[in-house]
């Protein structure tokens, strides 16, 4: 399953100006907050979390909250996603791949989810 999200980075800049760290904690954990270098980084993290929820087919809500996933970085700085036990078990997730890119005033997040079984198999004819 694949999800994608696009955000104008100025939206995140305004959120930070208005609410500061408290605004970021609405969708980030304290560990993730330590990885934020600028509003553009925060926008990329938002895009990844939105893209993940779209790949699940739920969106952000009662089935999947922003705090059911956490972004961390590899030793080389690549973003990775860890998931709550609830999400892994409920959706039978085996693996997740993420990518974040920025271009000008936009950040894009793409997520691919591999599940153990899927009802979204290609239909035969």
For residues 21 and 17, give the distance between their C-alpha atoms in angstroms, rounded to a whole number: 9
Tell me how crowded residue 38 is: count the other CB atoms within 10 A of its CB: 13
Q: At what angle do helices 39-56 and 9-24 cross, to 10 degrees?
A: 90
Is there a catalytic annotation at residue 54? yes
Helix runs in 27-104, H state only: 30-33, 39-56, 85-91
Is there a catalytic annotation at residue 102? yes
Residue among 77, 75, 12 at smallest CA distance from 47: 12
In the set 14, 26, 76, 102, the catalytic residue is 102
In the set 22, 26, 40, 54, the catalytic residue is 54
Residue 41: how many CA atoms within 13 Å on its side-chain side?
15
Catalytic residues: 54, 102
């Amino acid at each position: 399953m694949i999800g994608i999200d696009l955000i104008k980075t100025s939206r995140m800049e305004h959120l930070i100006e208005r609410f500061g760290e408290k605004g970021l904690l609405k969708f980030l954990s304290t560990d993730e907050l330590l990885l934020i270098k600028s509003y553009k980084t925060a926008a990329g993290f938002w895009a990844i979390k939105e893209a993940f929820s779209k790949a699940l087919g739920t969106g952000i809500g009662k089935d999947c909250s922003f705090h059911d996933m956490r972004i961390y970085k590899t030793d080389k700085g690549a973003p990775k996603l860890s998931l709550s036990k609830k999400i892994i078990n409920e959706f039978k997730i085996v693996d997740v791949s993420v990518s974040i890119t920025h271009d000008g005033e936009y950040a894009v997040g793409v997520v691919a989810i591999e599940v153990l079984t899927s009802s979204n198999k290609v239909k035969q004819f």
